[in-house]
Structure 1
Amino acid sequence: MGQEYRHTKTTISLINDHFVFCPRCRRKVLVGQVESRFKELVNEICAQNDWLILAMEVMPDHVHLFLHCLPTDSPSGMMATIKGITSRRLREKFLHLRHLPSLWTRFFFVSTAGNVSSDTIRRYVEAQKKRG
């Protein structure tokens, strides 16, 4: 996967954000059907918002998500959208998640990657499943 530059009427950009976020109390709930449905939801949300998924790995107790976005997209807004929609929809569908006041912690890690480090981050994210 090569670098993709995004074009708008006034901007050409290369912004790639690496996010890491966790369920509340680092519970290991992202397994089986919950993991599958979470991935479907993230794909839908990203498509609707014109965010390209460069890599995604879902571990039982945390998520690595590497996205390509426009300069008008704020990392905190992107996380609010992804976490809000997935929390609501997963807790509606899976009864064992309903007792949680929310699925996700309020916190997340984000790092913006430039052209040189994007491949390194992609390999790191993809290697997470093999390590766990």
Structure 2
Amino acid sequence: MKEKRGRGYVYSIQYHLVWCVKYRKKILKDNIEDTLKMKLKQIALENKFDILEMECDKDHVHLLVDCSPQHYIPNIIKALKGVSARAMFKEHPEIKNELWGGSLWNPSYYVSTISDTTEEQIRRYIQSQKEK
């Protein structure tokens, strides 16, 4: 991953994000999936973070997100899930019936940090600092 620069700092921050459709309903297909992907890209652009990879299965979404240190992961998730749900219900009202009039997304999500360095490499680097 390429490092980026801010004012007085260098960073490389990526997250793997996954969240599911409520009740694991298999509704993310065809034009619904296309609409969702377009909306998620728009949300990322508006919130100044990048989606490096994105894929939807019929009942969940995977993203690889690149962001700055100023981004707070719960806010990114809130923007992605909240704004996309409102947009999807507006553009595809038929999915509301599939979900019995409820929410589009399950309230939980998965997040992990991504690095081109392993935990063991970082541990060795930190431990070796006193030796220098």
With normalisation by structure 2, the TM-score equals 0.82
2: CA distance, partners of 1:116 / 1:59? 28
Larger Rg: 2
Q: Which residue is 2:76 aligned to?
A: 78
2: CA distance, partners of 1:57 / 1:18? 11
Deviation at 1:10, TM superposition (A): 2.8
Residue 36 of structure 2 is aligned to residue 38 of structure 1: yes
2: CA distance, partners of 1:36 / 1:63? 12
2: CA distance, partners of 1:95 / 1:37? 13
How many residue pairs match? The answer is 115
| Partner-residue secondary structure (3-state), 1:67 | strand
2: CA distance, partners of 1:30 / 1:93? 13
CA deviations on 1:83-129 (whole Å, 9 max, x unpaired) are: 00100010011121224321001100000111237xxxxxxxxxxxx
CA deviations on 1:25-79 (whole Å, 9 max, x unpaired) are: 0110100111000000011111122211111111101111000001111111101
2: CA distance, partners of 1:21 / 1:116? 25
2: CA distance, partners of 1:70 / 1:105? 26
Q: What's the % identity of the aligned pairs?
A: 27
- Check whether the contact 1:92–1:98 (CA below 8 A) recurs between aligned residues: no
Deviation at 1:6, TM superposition (A): 2.2
Q: Which residue is 2:105 aligned to?
A: 104
2: CA distance, partners of 1:101 / 1:56? 25
Q: Which residue is 1:120 aligned to?
A: none
Q: Which amino acid aligns with 1:66?
A: L
Structure 2 gap segments, 5+ residues each: 119-132
Q: CA RMSD in A?
A: 1.3
Q: Which residue is 1:126 aligned to?
A: none
- Check whether the contact 1:18–1:66 (CA below 8 A) recurs between aligned residues: yes
Structure 1 gap segments, 5+ residues each: 118-132
